[in-house]
Homo-oligomer: A and B are copies of this chain.
Amino acid sequence: MVRRIEHIAIAVKDAEASARLFETLFGVSRGQMETLPDERVKVAFFELGGSRLELVEGIGADNPMGKFIQKRGEGLHHICLEVEDLPETLRLLHAAGFPLIDSVPKPGSRGTKVAFLHPRGCNGVLIELVEQPSRA
């Protein structure tokens, strides 16, 4: 079961410039900018109530974020939903016929587990699912 919208991600050409723009728009300071070489992205994020908004810039040649922008322009890229038990959620969604990009969870940032669902099963929306690390 989905608990909440963990974040919304926006594909941008220049995360630094966009972070300044959204700081003005939101009246809120961004968090620390992060570069994730494995995922070939640079990310700026904002805490907004119980959710986050992420600005994502692709880095390096032929990165997926750059290809997205080339095709569709800058804009909304994906949403991330928090679930309680990610392996069980993936099993249920697969059984219900949802096409999965990741059929098993992969490690996300800060000890999380994440997996993406294919947008063709979700009305064109790219959906990431995240399970927070257990506090036990």
Please measure, in the bound complex, the distance between the C-alpha atom of A24 and the C-alpha atom of B122, giving whole angstroms: 11
A98 closest partner in B (C-beta): B25
Known A48-B3, A48-B5, A81-B48: A10·B123 in contact at CB below 8 Å: yes
Q: Chain B contacts of A96 at CB under 8 A?
A: 24
- For the side of the interface on A, what is the size category? 35 or more
* Contact residue among B4, B76, B81, B93 (Cβ-Cβ distance under 8 Å from A50): B4
Contact with B along A1-17 (1 / 0, CB 8 A): 11111001010100000
Instruction: Say whether A75 contacts B26, CB under 8 Å.
Output: no
Q: Is the interface of A mostly helix, strand, loop or mixed?
A: mixed
B10 touches A8 (CB 8 A): no
Interface contact A93-B25, CB-CB below 8 Å: yes
Residue numbers in B under 8 Å from A26 (CB-CB): 1-2, 81
- Contact flags A58-72 to B (C-beta < 8 A → 1, else 0): 000000000000001
Selected A-B contacts with CB under 8 Å, 21 pairs: A1-B27, A2-B48, A4-B49, A5-B5, A5-B48, A5-B51, A8-B8, A8-B79, A10-B125, A21-B123, A24-B93, A25-B93, A25-B117, A25-B122, A27-B92, A49-B51, A74-B123, A74-B124, A74-B125, A75-B125, A76-B124
